[in-house]
Structure 1
Amino acid sequence: MHPKIINALKEHAHEKDYLPTLGLLKLRESIACYYKKRFNYNFSPDHILIGPGSKELIFQCLFVLEGPVIIPAPSWVSYGPQVNVRGKHIIRAMTRRENNYKLTGAELKQVCSTLPEEEQKVLIINSPNNPTGQVYSDTEMADLVKVCRQEQVIIISDEIYAMIDFTGRNKSGFLNHYPEGTIVTAGLSKSHSAGGYRLGFIAAPPNMTSVIQGLSALVSETFSAVSAPIQYAAVQAYSGDSEIEEYLENCCKIHKCVGNYIAEELNSMAVDCPDPEGAFYVFPDFSKYKEELKERYSVSTGKDLAESLLVNSSVALLPGSDFYMSPSSLTTRMATVDYDGAEVYQAANEMEFQLNKDFLKKNTPLIVEGLNAIKDYLI
């Protein structure tokens, strides 16, 4: 985390009073200004609500929005359980490898055709994506938005990884294409390396005032407000400070270098792995080893594979079935951050962030060891 944010937290440690339910006005103004400059989003501070992480805010939002919830497969593990707790109907929208596991307009249209035509629907979508590391292009977003308008679909755009984008497409999001129907959630956890701060926000367009009002009522009866010192520190995080922005950019360079290296190594083993476009995950598919895995390790499901790799190679992956893929799928999610972030950042800084394989082999030894262990497991 950048020292300026830490110092801001220290400076406001004395703040002990409850803040407004919507959140600190100065913070909401900072977020509106920051996202206007970075993504050309037109948020009103009055339509932004601060919460203890975007995870909680997505959950709360499900109590305000009507209709069934569409979740692309694969998607983040917590969407489904949250929808189940809410008692809503979940519809899984299967994606395909040839589209890098990104939902298409045609696939969304097919799902909507099974639902009442006039019923409002909710699509939760995440770009850059956990678990795949993929990013939706403007063309892909426009394709989905066309169907959303036709089929009464509200988008919850989970943009927690939006600033960890390797494609150069991070100047645009679903809100730019569908301003009247997109709710955005984001926060400090991923981009600013501040998961423990539990600071997130949700923003709704002007025509969804009722959503923010409903959320505000829920907040007043649940968590009341996010910790005051944390909110004051977040003002610094969203200030647009040039040193903090440089830090975010450099962190993104590290994530990109590590992710590309892992994907390249896996593909060299004949493990099909799309090149990551953002976040810090890859989504390899071990299907080419299906027969060998079954014969050698009695592996027939993704869960079997994950357990076998852990027992035999001390490599921890999550099975694709945890992300709504079929149990028989041999896809897995691999996180790409098995290293000391502060130490790697310092080493990268000494190299002026001109990163290469030699740098990774020296500074991320656990990742190199893990990949070698996977190779030995497969051979």
Structure 2
Amino acid sequence: MVKTAGIMIDARVDRIQQPDTLRFSQLVAGQKHVCQSVACCEDFFSFGRAESPFPVPDDIRVEISGKSCPGTLADPAGLPELREAVSGFYARNYNITADADRIIIGHGVKGLVLPIFTILAGSVIVPSPGWLGYLPQLRILNKPYYRLYGHYAAQYKIRPTQLAAMLKGLVKSQHLLILNNPGYPTGNLYTEKDLKEIAAICRESNTLILANEAYSLLTYDLSKFVSMGSIYPEGTFVLNGLSMDRSAGGLRIGTCILPEGSDQALKDELIKVLATVYTAAVTPVQQAAIPAYLPNPAMDAYLHDTREIHRIMTTRLAARCAAIEGVRTIIPEGGFSFMVDLNVMIAEIRAAGIQYSNDLAPAMIQHPYHIATVTGEAMMAGYDDFYIRFSATDYDGTAALESYRSVPPKTPSDEEAFFMRHGARMAAGIEMFSRWVSDVRSGSFKFEKSAE
């Protein structure tokens, strides 16, 4: 039991990790305070914010800015016209036929996860490294879960043999597997073969899948993306939203496609919990989201252009990391983040005083490096897994989008020039990261605990 100012706090809250956005902000604020005390005015290299830098698409912005603003509550399942639009969107883009009755609109993807965890019996299997957002919700519910650890050799993806072995050792009851595709924070992509193998194991083991596909439309080669909802339709909850590909995280719109064949009882129970937690997603925001899902050439152009810019910025930044000796990096196939693995230099890291994965971010932000990112629990890493998430988002998205549309890069040299024109600050940050790695390996860097 935690006690603060005489008020007792439930012990479960103490087991909840800080969201990565909050941890990142506190990390930067703490180091800036330290730097001020020694008159350091150097800027920070910001690699921690996993949020698209682009402006919200015009159609959404115009819709939300003033056509109507109803004060009435929406249906807890979502506005019928929005669910119809989402149904058509999935048919066109994902080869998934799901009528509006199978679609739930929520308060962002995160707002849909808790109700799904709440209604489903059994344990949850959570891949690591991965998105932190799952564990706090599982701990709030006191729900049993198991971590499924990824490895460099498999690009940190779920390995079917490993999954089968874990499920074989669990109680023979219903389970739920978390699957992010493209992966987060790695940006790796599951092939159709990968998904079929995972689905076959889940079918045999009475295991449902929560497929978080929030980065799917940011897959650099869209022809390679396959939704688990088309592979295992009867057992998959498909999650998506507007935060990543439409750069509209602040609107908090998430979508869920229920498994094919779901009965009314399951839908009723999910809506009951959803309505209990937050009643319904905001009505005018739902109205503004409709153009994002209707056939819309302007929206298609926005998605194409921003996806290409994400590809240029993220893969070139990752390639620079991969060239650093002592660093292992998987070049992402989607999204705007990638992961760096420093476990090959674990002896040097510990000799520098960095004993646990949570120490890595405070060590990197120390003066004079000022590399601000997230590590450890913020990306579901174990204490002994020295992983770093780099987000390639520290640039002026509006200027980059205008530049891309004015003169689209056509060759690798054009893309490099585009990257350096808009991402020079990030390139300088990776050079500083290379210096930090070199100093750790040479023994000239020591972690000062006071910098946390």
Shorter chain as normaliser: what TM range? Answer: over 0.9
Matching residue's letter, 1:369: A
Distance 2:283 2:183 in 1: 30
Q: Which amino acid aligns with 1:53?
A: G
CA distance in 2: counterparts of 1:72 and 1:169, whole angstroms: 25
- Residue 372 of structure 2 corresponds to which residue in structure 1? 316
Say yes or no: does 1:43 pair with 2:102.
Answer: no
State whether residues 94 and 107 of structure 1, in contact with CA within 8 Å, keep that contact through their aligned partners in structure 2. no
CA 1:200–1:331 in structure 2 vs 1: closer, same or farther (change >3 Å)?
same
Q: CA deviation at 1:140?
A: 0.5
Tell me whether 1:368 sits opposite 2:427 in the alignment. Answer: yes
Q: Is the 8 A contact 2:85 2:293 kept in 1?
A: yes
User: Does structure 1 residue 57 correspond to structure 2 residue 107?
Assistant: no
- State the distance in 1 between where 2:158 and 2:393 align: 26
How far does the alpha carbon of each residue in 1:288-344 deviate from its partner, in whole angstroms, 9 at most, with x for none?
A: 43344344x322332222211111311112224433322122211111111121121
Structure 1 residues 23-63: Cα deviation after superposition (integer angstroms, max 9, x where no partner) = 11110000000110100111110111111101010111111
1:171 Cα shift? Answer: 4.7
Aligned residues between the structures? 377
The 3-state SS of whatever aligns with 1:184 is strand
Change (3 A) 1:52 1:100: same
SS in 2 for 1:191: coil
Q: 1:377 aligns with which of 421, 436, 441?
A: 436
Matches of 1:225 and 1:248, distance apart in 2 = 27
1:335-367 CA distance string (max 9 Å, x none): 111112112111222222445122111212221
Secondary structure of 1:201's counterpart equals: strand
Could you list the per-position Cα deviations for residues 267-297 of structure 1 after superposition, in whole angstroms to 9, with x for gaps in the alignment? Answer: 11121100101111111112343344344x3
Going from structure 1 to structure 2, the CA distance change for 1:171 and 1:375 (only over 3 Å counts) comes to closer
User: Is 1:101 paired with 2:156?
Assistant: yes
Higher RCO (CA 8 Å, separation ≥ 6 residues): 2
d(CA) in 1 for partners of 2:220, 2:415: 16
Structure 1: distance between partners of 2:211 and 2:122:
17
Q: Equivalent of 2:126, from 71, 78, 86?
A: 71
Which residue pairs with 1:91 in the alignment?
A: 146
Q: 1:158 aligns with which of 198, 206, 212?
A: 212
Amino acid at match of 1:366: R
Is there any run of 5+ residues in structure 2 with no aligned partner, and where? 1-55, 439-452
Query: Does residue 133 in structure 1 map to residue 187 in structure 2?
Result: yes
Corresponding residue for residue 208 of structure 1: 262
1:238 maps onto 2:293 in alignment = yes
Larger radius of gyration: 2
**Distance (whole Å) between structure 2 residues aligned to residue 220 and residue 290 of structure 1:** 47
| Conservation of the 8 A alpha-carbon contact between 2:409 and 2:415 | no
RMSD: 1.5
Aligned: 1:345 with 2:401: yes
2:420 counterpart letter in structure 1: K
Q: Who is 1:306 aligned against?
A: 361
Cα distance in 2 for partners of 1:179, 1:352 equals 38
Alignment deviations for residues 95-139 of structure 1 (CA, whole Å, 9 cap, x no partner) = 21111000011111111122112x000011111121111111101
Match of 1:358 among 391, 394, 417: 417
Distance, in Å, in 2 between the alignment partners of 1:47 and 1:10 is 30
Aligned pair 1:336/2:392, yes or no? yes
- Which position in structure 1 is the counterpart of 2:197? 143
- CA offset at residue 257 of structure 1? 0.8
Please report the TM-score for the alignment, with normalisation by the length of structure 2: 0.80
Provide the rounded CA distance (Å) in 2 between the counterparts of 1:217 and 1:298. Answer: 50
Partner of 1:261: 316
* Residues 104 and 143, structure 1, Cα contact 8 Å, conserved in 2: no
Q: Distance in 1 between matches of 2:88 and 2:374?
A: 38
Sort the Cα spacing of 1:170 and 1:42 in 2 relative to 1 into closer, same or farther, 3 A: farther
Shift of the alpha carbon at 1:11? 4.0
Cα deviation for residue 178 of structure 1 reads 0.5
Q: What is the CA–CA distance in structure 2 between the aligned matches of 1:26 and 1:223, rounded to whole Å? A: 20
40-49 vs 216-225, which moves further: 216-225
Matched to 1:374, the amino acid is F
Percent sequence identity is 25
**Residue 8 of structure 1: how far off its partner (Å):** 1.5
1:173-217 CA distance string (max 9 Å, x none): 111110110011111011100000011111103422333211111
The amino acid that maps onto 1:149 is: R
